[in-house]
Copies of this chain bind each other. A is one copy, B any other.
Amino acid sequence: MRRIAALALLPLVAAAQAPAPAKPKTPSEITAGAPRSDWREIAAEDLLVFELKDGKKVVMQLAPEFAPVHVANIRALSKAGWWNGAAIYRVQDNYVVQWGQNESEKPFPAGVVAKPPAEYARPLAGLGVTPLGSPDAYASRAGFVSGWPVAIHDQEGLANLAHCYAMVGVGRGLSPDTGTGGELYTVIGHAPRHLDRNIAVVGRVVQGLEHMSSLPRGTEALGFYKERTSDVPLVGAKLASDMPAAERPRFEYLAGASFDAYLNARKNRQDDFFIRPAGGADLCNVNVPVRPVPAG
């Protein structure tokens, strides 16, 4: 696939030559050409910036529409400095990276709900769904809500955030414990959708996931690091809304007609490389475009 790298240049070259019949746009071309009005900015209080050593940052988008109590907890934990001195202590290949205070005795700050409800799914009613239009092995159908990949259970009238790559969930013990939000994990492998509706999904990583996904895998059962000296320390975490305006990271996701076109192109790849468009897509293989808000 080395030569794929050169392909990105082809459309530019072709444009300088004789006119050719219109070709369907690729997903990248649709994203790059989307009008400003088809991008939706993510609220500053929904962006949480984790800082690792050496200035590395991992930016997470919170999903209060799906797990309001857990998200409120995570905001309260951040404001109280919970993540200062936390660490990544589990990296399981094709599964998850997990971080938090692990086995430390750090007490929960005031304002944190110790036993949140089981926010594993929410009522479907009131959600504006862009249908995926392909079958799903874990739900009656699937689609997208405000840029989130969502599984829909029509008979029960419920919807849940799907455990796609980069999604973030709340570590917990056995039921009825739902976790507080003090221990989090993100998916770094094929979507472990069997966790859907068994765990509170609270958001996704929108930038810097590679600082987690490229960490050495843990050698203990479930990918836990054997020695605490292997843990990867966190400096801390801060909500974008708690930063001075000039320092806040800003992100936006693709929506509107451009997202519809992007979804269709993902299902029917017609780039020069492709011989046979699939005619469909798995929910977690669509990858809703999210990017920093362009300057200016």
Contacts and interface: CB of A to CB of B under 8 A. Distances in A.
A201 to B, nearest CB: 13
A269 interface: yes
B138 A164 contact: no
Interface string A179-220: 100010100011111101111000000000110011111001
A209 B174 contact: no
A280 interface: yes
A109 to B, nearest CB: 19
A136 interface: yes
A231 to B, nearest CB: 12
A196 to B, nearest CB: 7
Interface in A90-144: 90-91, 93-94, 96, 98, 100, 102-103, 118, 120, 134-138
Contacts of A3: 172-174
Nearest to A268: B194
A190 B284 contact: yes
A2 B282 contact: no
Interface in A226-260: none
A193 B287 CA distance: 13
A8 interface: yes
Interface string A263-289: 000100100111111101111110100
B7 A174 contact: yes
Contacts of A166: 94
Contact of A138 (B120, B179, B266, B282): B282
A138 B8 CA distance: 26
B217 A172 contact: no
Contacts of A213: 93-94, 213, 217
A18 interface: no
A269 B174 contact: no
Nearest to A177: B3
Given A183-B2, A198-B276, A278-B196, A210 B136 contact: no
Contact of A285 (B91, B192, B214, B285): B192
Contacts of A285: 137, 190-194
Contacts of A214: 91, 93, 214-217
Given A135-B135, A194-B285, A285-B193, A174 B273 contact: yes
Contacts of A7: 174
Contacts of A93: 209-210, 213-214
Contact of A275 (B197, B276, B277): B197
The 6 closest A-B pairs by CB, nearest first: A135-B135, A1-B171, A134-B137, A3-B173, A210-B217, A137-B280
12 contacts: A1-B96, A1-B185, A1-B199, A1-B222, A8-B222, A93-B209, A120-B276, A135-B135, A137-B281, A190-B284, A192-B285, A198-B276
